[in-house]
Amino acid sequence: RVRRSWYERHPQSRRRLDRRVISVGNLSVGGRGKTPIVATLAGMLLGMGERPAILSRGFARRRPVDGVVVVSDGERVLESVERSGDEPQMLARALPRVPVLVCPDRHLAGRLAERQLGCSVMLLDDGFQHLPLGRDVDVLVMPASDLDDNVLPSGRLREPLDAASSADCILVPGSNEDVMRVSAAFDRMPVFQVTNHFERLQGLDGSAPVGSRVVAVAGIARPARFFEALRAHGYDVVSELAFPDHHWYTARDLERVRATVRHIGADLVVTTEKDAVRLPPQPGWAVLPMTAVIEPADQFVSWLRDRL
C-alpha cells in the first residue's frame, strides 16, 4: 500500500513513453489467464488500426540476457524460447503481426518498440505492479475468488483488495454470477466477463476422434482447468501428469510420459500451448489451443477506444 500510494502521490517519478500504454495484470499470483487476454487485446488493437507491441519481463527464461530481447519484430520470430521465456514465445508465434519484446526494464523495451518498430500502443503483460512505468489504461484480471483471499503469505494476493481501485476496468474470468459479485464489490468500475474457448486439437498428422484415450501433460499454474477442458471436449483423460509452472522438460520427463502411454495404452498425449513452446516436436502429441473472449465485446472495444 505504501509503495502504490507513493507512486500515486508522485506521478512525476514514473517514466513515460511517447506512445500509449495498456497494462494487464492481477492481484493474485499465477494462473489467472493474463497472457491469452493480452493476445485478445492485441487482436482488438489491430482491428482498430493500431500497431501494438507486447512488453514482457520474460519470467523464468532459461538463458536470460542483458538489454532488450526482440522475440518478434512483427514479421517473424527471431529468438528461441530459452532466451524469450515461454509466454512471450507463445505470443510471438500466435500473433505474427505483433512485435514482442522482453526486458525487465519495460521503459527501455517500449522505447525500442516505438522508435525502431513503429508501434503505436504498448501492452504490458503482467504489469499491474510494474509501477515505475506510467500507463494510460490499467486492466485488472480478477476472478471472484480473489474477494475471499488474503495477502501473501497467508493467501495468494500480491496486494490488498483495495489496490483494485487503481485499475480502470476489471475483467472477471468465470460465470455471470462471478461478474455480479465483483461488480457489487467495485460498483463504480467498468466490469467485463472473460470466458475461455478451447479449439480443436492441433499438431497431429491424423485425427483424434472424441473419446480417444488421452494422457494430459501440463506445466502451468492451474493444470486442473486444462484437464477439465479436455474432458469437456469428450476426450477420455486416462492419466494426468502435472509439472510446475514454466517447467523445462527433461529427457527423463519425456520418458516418463512415454512409459505412461505404453502402460495405459493411450491413443495420444495432449498438452497446452504454453508447454508446447518449451518442447521439441513430439510424435503422437497434440496441443489444445485456448483463446480468451471478453464480453460484451462491442462494449469493451468501445470503452477501450474511448480510453485511448
pLDDT of residue 204: 63
Q: What is the pLDDT of residue 30?
A: 75
* pLDDT per residue as tens digits for the range 50-74: 999 999 998 889 998 899 999 999 9
| pTM recorded for the entire structure | 0.93
The whole-number pLDDT of residue 200 equals 86
pLDDT by residue (tens digit) across 116-125?
A: 999 999 999 9
pLDDT for 275 equals 95
Please give the pLDDT value at position 205: 57
Distance from the first to the final alpha carbon of the chain: 27
DSSP H helices in the chain? 2-9, 34-47, 81-84, 86-94, 106-116, 176-185, 223-232, 251-264, 273-276, 297-307
- Listed as ranges, residues in the chain with pLDDT below 50 are none
Our measurement of the distance from residue 245's CA atom to the centroid of its chain's CA atoms, rounded to an integer in Å, reads: 13
pLDDT at position 208: 77
Q: Strand 268-272 and strand 285-288: pairing?
A: parallel
Check residue 207 and give its pLDDT. Answer: 64
- State the Cα torsion 200-272-43-55 to the nearest 10°: -170
CB atoms within 10 A of CB 169: 18
- What are the Cα distances from residue 175, in Å, to 170, 229, 303? 14, 16, 21
What confidence score (pLDDT) does residue 59 get? 87
Q: Which residues pair with 285 in a beta bridge?
A: 269
